[in-house]
């Protein structure tokens, strides 16, 4: 056997479906080994089907092929292409055809469909993703074509990515540090872009002044082994507008006669634009070796949805540029495996200008700000490093993977500027008097991360597969001591972490799979969590302050899952269900005890989360199917007094239901309904208990009417979101009287028309 390994029930491993509705025969392709790393990481890509030309197949034949067809493929669980059923993880794959069928236009919309996940917006306009009851930007690893997208400074990822150039989205719920190092805490998401031959283009427009265009093309140069690919996309929107009743500046604006008491503070501003462009050059000569160079540029220029904290910032402007680059080579080692080497680089440049008080705002009596008050944070964060890995097939019953990696995370530029002092409005933005950012300290703005892992996928029996893995990491963190209640930085130290994993997959009969999984993960504190500090003023209340003494947080997770697929007459039914238990040690959290600056700390008593996820899919044909998934969990903070220990700022249960029906030969109608339970504020301190808010349960319905491929090259879609104009809300940081009482209003009804072309 060369470069392949058949797990239990090998027929469940397959390529993604090609575009004409047919499904290829099951194949498991290793694609080589890409290494785990504390920095960027690149799982291998499963085979990419070429576009299928010619007339559409007969509908009856397509229906027959769809039954018990290829499953969704993931590479995240073991770094090998596997079906979701046999992967030793609780995994979900969302292929391109499903995203298009349901009208999912952005990555957050895709993630909202995944069991155990929820997405929301904060007042600054950032998309937030919750996984299994916890909302933490630093705890979910986001990969773009295997390259880490989370910023090494604050762990935020540019999530608002359009789906037009995405081939599939892979999601693994649960710890992933045994392969991916720090940050793979609650799960791992990998966005896999298209790499197809031919030319594709798409254009769309609709509500809120939204417009988008996408163009991509791939070219194979004869029999030379060279493949060239490039894509570019542009999106823009004027954004939705919703009134904010009052904010923290309203009282002073009313006193100055600049605002009527009955008038709202203003409207939300969700305008923005984004550029997404990438290329890949790949050479695969005869013999199986492959060399690949790829790069991607992302740029976002947008307003803040509301503002920095609890004031409306109409003139805020947030810029974010990301560069990702990879160079890799895979060398086969005869019939037994492959050796892979990879070098990577990324740079994230951020310029966040927030208006923290409107024009005419009175700083103190007699001192007003004609152009308003502004705060500006700019930084550049870089990661560069390399990795080396070996993938071996031993006696056809073991797949052994080993890897080494190292990366440097660097913050070469950082600045914090304002145009005011405590009682003075300045003519320009400048560094606050007497303030030196801690981000300038070399102990806080530069770190080395390194790791080594070993993993064995052992086919114990034709029905039983055992995955054993262990990863050792070291992370450079500041060395600190305490004196008089102050944290002193005395240098740096290397902090070790050991992360084991175990996965048992039993396939006793055709259509049945049982999983028992255990894993440990860690997340090191981000540079921002260690260093963040700003001058204490009336306009900085309620923000968190970094703590150089923070320790890495860890999580131990146990999961059990079952899956069955069976025929009901000529139809296909698939059922998946799983339960999990998470034990968090030293989670990093900010608890508001003073109403002013909130220090970050490790919660020593930890957090417990348990829950269940289930999904049922009923498939009549490739064009007629329905599915429903459900998530439930309970999260408890063990350091909080009884009665206030529940973490409830994300829905405790969620439903997603979708159905697609053919309307004759040329049209398909899809309906998507999403239901989420109510949300309330976490009450981890007496002060937080007093700031009570309650976000009602929501029920969102969307629909899409889409054509089948017309003239072999074109299709069109009309997508309607929030069909019944449901009043959707998210939370605000401080729902206090006099600050920003109420909730964050979200968009209502929206309609979009999309046209696609492919040659």
Residue spans per domain, the chain: 10-758
- The better pLDDT of the pair 74, 377 is held by 377
Buried b or exposed e, range 673-698, using 16+ CB within 10 angstroms: bbbbbebebbbbbeebeebebebeeb
Q: How far apart are CA 559 and CA 548, in angstroms?
A: 34
- pLDDT interval class at 268 (50, 70, 90): very high
For the chain, the first-to-last Cα distance in angstroms comes to 36
| pLDDT at res. 137 | 87
Nearest to 498 by CA among 552, 457, 443, 444: 552
Beta-carbon contacts of residue 329 (< 8 Å; ≥ 6 apart): 289, 290, 291, 292, 340, 341, 342
Average pLDDT, the chain: 88
| pLDDT at res. 27 | 32
Percent of the residues in the chain that have a pLDDT greater than 70, as a whole number = 91
Lowest-confidence region among 192-196, 274-278, 718-722: 192-196
DSSP annotation of 708: P
| pLDDT at res. 42 | 56
pLDDT tens, residue by residue, 72-100: 778 887 777 788 888 899 999 999 999 99
| pLDDT at res. 592 | 86
CA distances from 680 to 267, 285, 596, 600, 689 (A): 24, 58, 22, 22, 11
Lowest-confidence region among 19-28, 392-401, 436-445, 624-633: 19-28
User: Is residue 246 pLDDT above 70, yes or no?
Assistant: yes
| pLDDT at res. 228 | 97
- pLDDT interval class at 198 (50, 70, 90): very high
User: Is residue 50 pLDDT above 70, yes or no?
Assistant: no
CA distances from 464 to 397, 505, 514, 724 (A): 11, 6, 10, 48
Region 21-28 average pLDDT:
32
| pLDDT at res. 403 | 95
Nearest to 36 by CA among 182, 155, 170, 152: 182
Q: Residue 214 forms beta bridges with which residues?
A: 202, 233
pTM of the model: 0.90
Q: How far apart are CA 392 and CA 282, in angstroms?
A: 23
| pLDDT at res. 482 | 85
180 and 188 in contact (C-beta within 8 Å)?
Answer: yes
What CATH number is given for 10-758 in this structure? 2.40.170.20
User: Is residue 52 pLDDT above 70, yes or no?
Assistant: no
| pLDDT at res. 727 | 92
pLDDT tens, residue by residue, 554-589: 999 999 999 999 988 889 999 999 999 999 999 999
| pLDDT at res. 45 | 55
| pLDDT at res. 59 | 43
Percent of the residues in the chain that have a pLDDT greater than 90, as a whole number = 73
- The better pLDDT of the pair 86, 475 is held by 475
| pLDDT at res. 62 | 39
| pLDDT at res. 292 | 96
- pLDDT interval class at 162 (50, 70, 90): very high
179 phi and psi, to 5 degrees?
Answer: -115, -35
Region 3-24 average pLDDT:
33
pLDDT tens, residue by residue, 530-553: 999 988 887 877 888 999 999 999
Beta-carbon contacts of residue 282 (< 8 Å; ≥ 6 apart): 226, 227, 228, 229, 290, 291, 292, 293
Region 668-675 average pLDDT:
97
| pLDDT at res. 595 | 78
- The better pLDDT of the pair 25, 492 is held by 492
11 phi and psi, to 5 degrees?
Answer: -65, -10
| pLDDT at res. 31 | 31
71 and 25 in contact (C-beta within 8 Å)?
Answer: no
- The better pLDDT of the pair 379, 82 is held by 379
| pLDDT at res. 210 | 97
């Amino acid at each position: 056997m060369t470069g392949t390994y058949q797990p239990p029930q090998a027929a469940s491993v397959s390529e993604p479906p090609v575009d004409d509705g047919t499904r290829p025969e099951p194949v498991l392709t290793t694609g080589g080994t890409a290494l785990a790393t504390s920095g960027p990481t690149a799982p291998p890509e499963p085979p990419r089907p070429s576009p299928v030309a010619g007339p559409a197949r007969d509908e009856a034949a397509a229906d027959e092929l769809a039954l018990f067809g290829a499953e969704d493929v993931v590479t995240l669980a073991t770094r090998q292409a596997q079906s979701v059923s046999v992967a030793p993880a609780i995994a979900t794959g969302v292929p391109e055809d499903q995203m298009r069928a349901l009208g999912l236009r952005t990555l957050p919309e895709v993630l909202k469909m995944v069991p155990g996940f929820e997405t929301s917006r904060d007042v600054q306009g950032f998309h937030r993703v919750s996984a299994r009851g916890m909302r933490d930007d630093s705890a979910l690893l986001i990969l773009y074509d295997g390259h880490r997208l989370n910023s090494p400074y604050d762990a935020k990822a540019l999530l608002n990515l359009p789906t037009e150039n995405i081939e599939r989205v892979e999601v693994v719920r649960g710890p992933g540090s045994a392969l991916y190092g720090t940050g793979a805490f609650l799960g791992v998401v990998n966005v896999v872009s298209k790499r197809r031959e031919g030319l594709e283009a798409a254009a769309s427009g609709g509500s809120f002044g939204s417009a988008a265009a996408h163009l991509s093309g791939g070219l194979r140069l004869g029999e030379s082994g060279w493949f060239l690919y490039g894509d570019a996309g542009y999106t823009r929107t004027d954004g939705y507008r919703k009134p904010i009743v009052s904010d923290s500046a309203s009282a002073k604006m009313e006193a100055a006669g600049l605002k009527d008491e009955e008038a709202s503070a203003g409207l939300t501003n969700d305008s923005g634009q984004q550029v997404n462009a990438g290329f890949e050059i790949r050479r695969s000569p005869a013999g199986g070796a492959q060399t690949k160079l790829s790069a991607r540029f992302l740029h976002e220029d947008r307003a803040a949805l509301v503002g920095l904290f609890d004031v409306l910032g109409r003139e805020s402007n947030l810029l974010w540029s990301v560069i990702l680059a990879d160079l890799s080579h895979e060398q086969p080692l005869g019939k037994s495996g492959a050796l892979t080497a990879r070098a990577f680089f990324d740079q994230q440049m951020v310029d966040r200008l927030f208006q923290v008080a409107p024009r005419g705002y009175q700083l103190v009596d007699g001192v007003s700000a004609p152009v308003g008050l502004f705060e500006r944070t700019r930084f550049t964060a870089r990661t560069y490093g390399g990795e080396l890995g070996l993938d071996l097939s031993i006696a056809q019953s073991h797949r052994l993977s080993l890897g080494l990696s190292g990366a440097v995370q660097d913050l070469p530029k950082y600045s914090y500027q304002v145009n005011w002092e405590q009682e003075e409005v300045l003519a320009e933005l400048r560094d606050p008097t007497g303030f030196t950012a801690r981000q300038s300290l070399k102990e806080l703005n530069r770190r080395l991360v390194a790791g080594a892992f070993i993993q064995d996928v052992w086919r114990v029996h034709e029905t039983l597969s055992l995955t054993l893995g262990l990863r050792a990491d070291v992370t450079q963190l500041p060395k600190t001591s305490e004196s008089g209640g102050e944290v002193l930085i005395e240098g740096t130290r290397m902090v070790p972490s050991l992360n084991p994993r175990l996965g048992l997959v039993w396939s006793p009969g055709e259509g049945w799979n049982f999983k028992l999984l255990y894993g440990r993960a860690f997340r090191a504190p981000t540079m921002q969590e260690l260093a963040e500090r700003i001058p204490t003023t009336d306009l900085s209340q309620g923000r968190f302050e970094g703590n150089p003494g923070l320790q890495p947080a860890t999580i131990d997770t146990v999961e059990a899952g079952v899956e069955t697929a069976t025929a009901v007459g000529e139809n296909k039914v698939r059922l998946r269900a799983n339960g999990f238990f998470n034990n968090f040690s030293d989670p990093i959290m900010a608890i508001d005890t003073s109403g002013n600056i909130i220090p970050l700390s490790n919660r020593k008593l930890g957090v417990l989360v348990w829950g269940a996820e289930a999904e049922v899919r009923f498939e009549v044909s490739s064009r007629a199917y329905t599915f429903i998934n459900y998530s439930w969990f309970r999260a408890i903070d063990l350091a909080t007094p009884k009665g206030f220990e529940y973490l409830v700022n994300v829905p405790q249960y969620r439903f997603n239901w979708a159905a697609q029906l053919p309307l004759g030969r040329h049209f398909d109608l899809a309906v998507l309904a999403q239901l989420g339970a109510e949300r309330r504020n976490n009450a981890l301190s007496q002060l937080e208990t007093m700031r009570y808010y309650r976000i009602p349960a929501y029920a969102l319905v969307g629909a899409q009417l889409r054509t089948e491929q017309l003239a072999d090259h074109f299709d069109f879609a009309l997508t309607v979101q929030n069909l019944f104009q449901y009043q959707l809300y998210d939370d605000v940081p401080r729902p206090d009287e006099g600050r920003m009482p109420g909730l964050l209003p979200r968009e209502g009804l929206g309609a979009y028309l999309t046209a696609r072309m492919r040659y």
